[in-house]
């Protein structure tokens, strides 16, 4: 068989267009800029409803602004100077921090304990989990009315129970510390279940293998909870602490409805439970209508929330520093 060889030179490839195609350019533009477009709605909404009101409130706080009459007059930091020398303002700060401490710490501890119970194999688990959220969806006005009756001086159930054990009735609305306790009880009743469901959702994401390994090594439920559950819940605990701090320092509805009558916005005749938000409302709107002074209160409240939230996060991180979940390794190590 004769072997034929093609002596013709190989065909030269067609010249490639050095210009990128339109589809390629669009693909690169899409990959480069589309992520910013996807998150842009959040920043637009935040700028309209968050950043702009915050900046405008600061601008208003630099003015003497009477909502009922005169035009605003620029006064600089005079509102802040007056505010820092105002004894009623510091009274409201102490009330706010007192109610916050009494309500938030027991609330988060109770929520963690309740979530741990709901995470077990219970009958009618769905029903129990729905039941803990009922207080949160109940009208705040209805809750305030019920708790106002429970903590009544003459016919309140709490004083009736105290009388059964030989304790004199307490003036829950005219005693400063007692009003803190009553309002904190109302807040805890409403928000413990909400935080418990958040903790429960985080607990269900923890791998069951960790608990099984710990159980094989003889760890009881209490040790599993403190050595596995709590360390792995650290991000969720920080989230709940921040949310509870923001809500606890902005209390308005509960103390406002707990006191009825002409002194409601003052938190009682002697401002027993007037919070910073109530003091802000009293000055910015009825009865004083000093919009600039009320805005200064709002900005100092914002600063207080930021400081307390940062301190709480630092404390939790320090407490959880170096904590690692106990995965149930044997003391002798792996063989």
What are the CA-CA distances from residue 239 to residues 154, 198, 246, 299 (Å)? 41, 10, 11, 23
Mean pLDDT, rounded, for 313-331: 63
Q: Once rounded to an integer, what is the mean pLDDT over residues 150-179?
A: 90
Residues 6+ apart with CB under 8 A from 305: 245, 246, 249, 250
Q: What is the pLDDT of residue 334?
A: 38
Q: Which two tokens stand for residue 59?
A: 């601008």
Which residues are CB-contacts of 223 (< 8 A; sequence separation ≥ 6)?
214, 326
> Two tokens at 180?
């803190």
Q: Tell me, what's the pLDDT at 174?
A: 87
DSSP conformation class of 169:
P
**What is the reported pLDDT for 331?**
42
Query: What is the spatial distance between Cα 278 and Cα 284, in angstroms, rounded to a whole number?
Result: 10
pLDDT bracket for residue 330 (50, 70, 90): very low
| pLDDT at residue 323 greater than cutoff 60 | no
pLDDT at 212: 87
Q: Going by C-beta distance under 8 Å and a sequence separation of 6 or more, which residues neighbour residue 61? A: 79, 80, 292, 293, 295, 296, 298, 299
Query: What's the pLDDT score for residue 297?
Result: 95
CB 180 within 8 Å of CB 98: yes
Residue 281 dihedral angles phi and psi, to the nearest 5°: -65, -40
Q: What pLDDT does 318 receive? A: 81
Average of per-residue pLDDT values in the chain: 85
Residue 250 pLDDT greater than 90, yes or no: yes
pLDDT of residue 10: 61
Q: What is the pLDDT of residues 1-56, one digit of tens each?
A: 455 555 556 656 555 554 556 777 777 777 778 888 888 899 999 999 989 999 99
The CA R_g of the chain, rounded to the nearest whole Å, is 30
pLDDT in tens, 63-91: 998 887 778 889 999 999 999 999 999 99
pLDDT digits (tens, 9 = 90+) for 270-318: 899 999 999 999 999 878 889 999 999 999 999 999 999 889 888 888 8
What percent of the chain stands above pLDDT 90?
Answer: 45
- Put simply, whether the predicted model's pTM sits higher than 0.85 gets the answer no
Q: What is the residue extent of each domain of the chain?
A: 87-320
Local structure of 71: helix, strand or coil: coil
Its CATH architecture, for the domain 87-320, is Orthogonal Bundle (1.10)
* CB environment 65-80: b (16+ within 10 A), e (fewer): beeeeeeeeebeebbb
């Amino acid at each position: 068989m004769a072997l034929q060889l093609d002596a013709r030179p190989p065909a030269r490839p067609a010249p490639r267009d050095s210009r990128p195609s339109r589809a390629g350019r669009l693909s690169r533009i899409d990959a480069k800029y589309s992520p910013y477009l996807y998150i842009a709605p959040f920043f637009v909404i935040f700028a309209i409803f968050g950043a702009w009101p915050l900046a405008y409130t600061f601008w208003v706080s630099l003015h003497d602004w009477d909502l009922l009459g005169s035009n605003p007059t620029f006064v600089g930091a005079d509102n802040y100077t007056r505010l820092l020398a105002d004894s009623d303002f510091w009274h409201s700060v102490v009330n706010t921090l007192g109610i916050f401490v009494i309500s938030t710490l027991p609330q988060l501890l109770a929520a963690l304990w309740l979530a741990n119970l709901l995470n077990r194999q219970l009958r009618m688990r769905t029903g129990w989990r729905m039941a803990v959220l009922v207080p949160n969806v109940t009208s705040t006005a209805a809750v305030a009315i019920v708790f106002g009756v429970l903590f009544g001086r003459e016919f309140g159930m709490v004083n009736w129970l105290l009388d059964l054990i030989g304790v004199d009735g307490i003036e829950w609305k005219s005693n400063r510390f007692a009003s803190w306790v009553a309002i904190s009880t109302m807040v805890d009743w409403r928000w413990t279940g909400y935080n418990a469901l958040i903790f429960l959702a985080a607990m269900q994401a923890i791998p069951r293998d960790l608990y099984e390994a710990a159980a094989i090594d003889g760890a009881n439920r209490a040790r599993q909870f403190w050595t596995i559950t709590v360390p792995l819940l650290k991000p969720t605990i920080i989230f709940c602490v921040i949310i509870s701090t923001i809500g606890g320092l902005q209390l308005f509805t509960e103390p406002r409805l707990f006191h009825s009558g002409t002194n409601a916005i003052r938190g009682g005749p002697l401002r027993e439970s007037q919070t910073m938000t109530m003091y802000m409302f009293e000055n910015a709107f009825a009865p004083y209508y000093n919009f600039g002074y009320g805005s200064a209160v709002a900005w100092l409240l914002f600063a207080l929330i930021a400081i307390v939230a940062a301190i709480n996060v630092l404390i939790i991180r320090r407490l959880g520093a170096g904590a690692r979940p106990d995965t149930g390794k044997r003391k002798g190590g792996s063989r």
